[in-house]
Every structure is written in C-alpha cells, then in structure tokens.
C-alpha cells in the first residue's frame, strides 16, 4: 500500500510539473499621442501589455525566450534589447509613424473634415497583449492578441501563438512535435472538428471561404489537444473573428 501511495504521489508531482508555467513579470504601456500639439483629437491610442518569464527555467532559456517573445509579439526586424527599452522604442515608432503618415493631410483637411471622418481616417489604435496560455509536456505556449486600426471600415485583429521548448527556449514547429506522416491525420482531424465550431449548413459555416482547412503553423498545445487558429479573412469572413479548431490528442496518438 505504501509503495502504491508513493507511486501516486510521484505521478501527481509529474503531472504538476507538466502543467507548471514559468514565473513571469509584466511590462505595460497605456498612452495616447495627439496628432498635433495643442489638440485633443485626433490621436493614436496605444495599449501594450507583455508578460515575460523571469523564473522557473534556466537563465539562458529565460533570456532566449524573452527575446523571442518580444520579436514575435512586436514584429521586430532587429534583435530586441531589454523589455522596457524594446517596448518603449516600439511605442515611439508607432507615434512617429502615425504623425508622419497623417499630419500633413490633417493640416490640409482639418477645416472641412467632420467628426465621423476624423475618427475614420485620423484616430488610430494599437493594442497588443502577450501571455503564457499553458504547458503540455515540455512545451510552453505563448499567445499574442492584437488589434490595430489605422483608418477604414474596421481594424485588424488577430491571435497568434508561439510554442517554446521549455528546455532550450527555442520556438518549435509542428513537425518537431509529431512523427513523420502526421499531416494527413492532422488535416483530417481539423476538417472534422471544424464542424464542431460551425455546424454544416449554419450561417457561419456558409461564411467560410475555405472549408477544407489544413495546418497553418499557427497552433497552441493544451491538455485536450492541439488547437489551430485562423485569422480573419484567412478562411472566413471578418465577422467570424479568429477561428480556433481543436483536434484531440487521442486522434493523434500514433504520431506524437
């Protein structure tokens, strides 16, 4: 009996370890900049919140993972610096871009432009939120949610995951998680479980541009299975938002 209890305790510890996330800190900036000094509107509204790992993993892994998170979440062309410097520099670049692209036109139009037109063309918005969503085995998933608006009928929204190897801090692809030949089973599972999200014949299902979906590299690993995310316009109309489809692990066990 004692041996059985010991084995159960060990299994519980192992399960806890598999679900453990790294300790994180957060850096956030919420600010707005007017297009022109001395006016309240139009402006660019910026809201950025980035969680980044600071404990629970090797220092080298924490450093590499944080660098990858910043590059991915902020879509950087160059290697990032420390979190605060990188995010603050990103915010400055948004402000510069906003004024560079709009100020000259605003000074020409402001006397004749209406309130609705001002909002539609000159009030920008940029929201970015990054956080760890979970752990499966030795893989950590980090999610970036974003919304940007720079004029027009509506903004651009999305949800993008990146999966890390907790041992190395490297981002991994689906081919590193599955064995050879997984593509057919995964594709079949995605098409099957798309019907769990949008039943065949529903208005939402008919709003899809692509029904024979395939793995797109934009995935999250969770307790129930692997979830793929499809951005607005990728497979369906904008009003459907970000579409997520989960394939249970039991259907992929031969390829894990």
Closest CA to 166 of 64, 63, 57, 59: 57
- pLDDT tens-place string over residues 116-173: 778 788 999 999 999 999 999 999 999 999 999 998 888 999 999 999 999 999 999 9
Judge whether 21-172 and 173-256 match in fold.
no
Query: Which secondary-structure segment (H or E) carries 149?
Result: strand 139-149
Of 220, 232, 161, 132, the C-alpha closest to 245 is 220
What is the CATH number that goes with domain 21-172?
3.30.565.40
User: Which of 199, 44, 41, 177 minimizes the C-alpha distance to 116?
Assistant: 41
What is residue 109's predicted lDDT score, i.e. its pLDDT?
A: 84
Q: For residue 1, give every residue at least 6 positions away whose Cβ sits within 8 Å of its Cβ, in sequence order, or none.
A: none
pLDDT in tens, 161-205: 999 999 999 999 999 999 999 999 999 999 999 999 999 999 999
Domain map of the chain by residue range?
21-172, 173-256
Task: Give the global pTM.
Answer: 0.88
The domain defined by 173-256 carries CATH number 1.10.760.10: no
């Amino acid at each position: 009996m004692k041996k059985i209890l010991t084995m159960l305790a060990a299994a519980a510890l192992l399960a806890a370890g598999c679900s453990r996330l790294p300790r994180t800190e957060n850096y956030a900036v919420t600010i707005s900049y007017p297009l022109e000094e001395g006016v309240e509107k139009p402006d660019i509204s910026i809201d950025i919140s980035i969680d980044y790992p600071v404990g629970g993993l090797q220092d080298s892994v924490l450093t590499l993972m944080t660098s990858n998170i910043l590059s991915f979440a902020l879509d950087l062309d160059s290697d990032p610096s420390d979190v605060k410097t990188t995010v603050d520099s990103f915010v400055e670049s948004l402000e510069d871009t906003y004024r560079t692209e709009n100020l000259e036109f605003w000074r020409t139009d402001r006397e004749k432009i209406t309130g609705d037109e001002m909002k539609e063309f000159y009030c920008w918005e940029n929201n970015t939120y990054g956080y760890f969503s979970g752990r499966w085995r030795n893989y950590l998933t980090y999610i970036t949610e974003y919304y940007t608006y720079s004029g027009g009928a509506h903004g651009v929204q999305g949800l993008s995951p990146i999966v890390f190897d907790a041992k190395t801090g490297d981002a991994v692809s689906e081919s590193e998680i599955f064995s050879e030949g997984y593509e057919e089973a995964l594709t079949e599972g995605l098409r099957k479980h798309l019907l769990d999200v949008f039943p065949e014949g529903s208005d939402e299902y008919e709003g899809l541009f692509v029904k024979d979906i395939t793995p797109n590299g934009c995935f999250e690993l969770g307790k129930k299975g692997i979830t793929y995310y499809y951005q607005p316009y990728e497979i369906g109309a904008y009003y459907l938002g970000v579409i997520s489809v989960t394939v249970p692990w039991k259907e992929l066990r031969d390829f894990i």
